[in-house]
Structure 1
């Protein structure tokens, strides 16, 4: 059975990638993953404003909300996964652990300074992935 990993940030392009994976490979075993980059989100606050317990509570709320969103996009027979870490690294690790044959993922198509500052998770995954990666952009 074909195994497809679908990373999601819950954007329109990620939803489109999931829909395309389902359409292009009916009957595939799909795992949907959301990676939260806590270092990017909390680094300005770690030693300054918020005590560690507040950061942990916030991370718990983020995890709970992400799991709820994952359950909302999950179809019968699909797996879901929430992890914290560097998105590209965690996507590649999840693909390896899952034994994925393909990765279908959305991209925001950032350009210029936005791409310079935020980079592209999709680009990093494509560069390092030993398996085929389908990049899907929302046409709007």
Structure 2
């Protein structure tokens, strides 16, 4: 079984990794970090510098992957991938193209105006993924 676990180094993402590792201990877990350059460029140290923003996000991804390996332990098969683009679109596309059997992702619990304006990655993945999706709170 191949389980995709999108991660962004948030607490809900950590819980999703824990859930995937404990629920599917024999599965191959792929941790996916999708870098959204349009958002990253405005949150990095040097606004509007997309390359520096991507590099900062790649460092964040590596830290998240290390944390995930610690959570999963030595008995869990973990591989990592980093993509650049829209998070929801990247997750769905990766699941479609890599024989993923299940997606486990964290919910950020957005509500109100931010959910309407920014949309929900988890909600979009649930609606568009070609495989079952588990959302962990």
TM-score under structure 1 normalisation?
A: 0.82
Structure 1 consecutive aligned stretches of length 4 or more whose deviation exceeds 2 Å: 40-43, 74-77
Displacement after TM superposition at 1:66 (Å): 1.7
Unpaired runs of 5+ residues, structure 2, are: none
Secondary structure of the 2:100 match is coil
Contact 1:6 1:103 in 2 (8 A): yes
Structure showing greater radius of gyration is 1
2:65 corresponding residue in structure 1: 70
**Aligned-partner Cα distance in 1 for 2:52–2:36:** 15
**Aligned-partner Cα distance in 2 for 1:58–1:42:** 5
What is the root-mean-square deviation in Å for CA atoms of aligned residues? Answer: 2.0
Secondary structure of the 2:110 match is coil
1:30 corresponding residue in structure 2: 29
1:46 corresponding residue in structure 2: none
**Aligned-partner Cα distance in 1 for 2:88–2:38:** 14
1:103-136 Cα shifts (integer Å, max 9, x gaps) = 0001112111121122100000011111100011
**Aligned-partner Cα distance in 1 for 2:93–2:123:** 16
**Aligned-partner Cα distance in 2 for 1:9–1:69:** 7
- 1:51-90 equivalences under 5 Å are 54-74=49-69, 75=72, 76=74, 77-90=77-90
**Aligned-partner Cα distance in 2 for 1:87–1:95:** 12
- 1:29-48 equivalences under 5 Å are 29-42=28-41
With over 3 angstroms needed to count, the CA separation of the structure-2 counterparts of 1:61 and 1:11, relative to structure 1, is closer
Unpaired runs of 5+ residues, structure 1, are: 44-48
TM-score under structure 2 normalisation?
A: 0.84
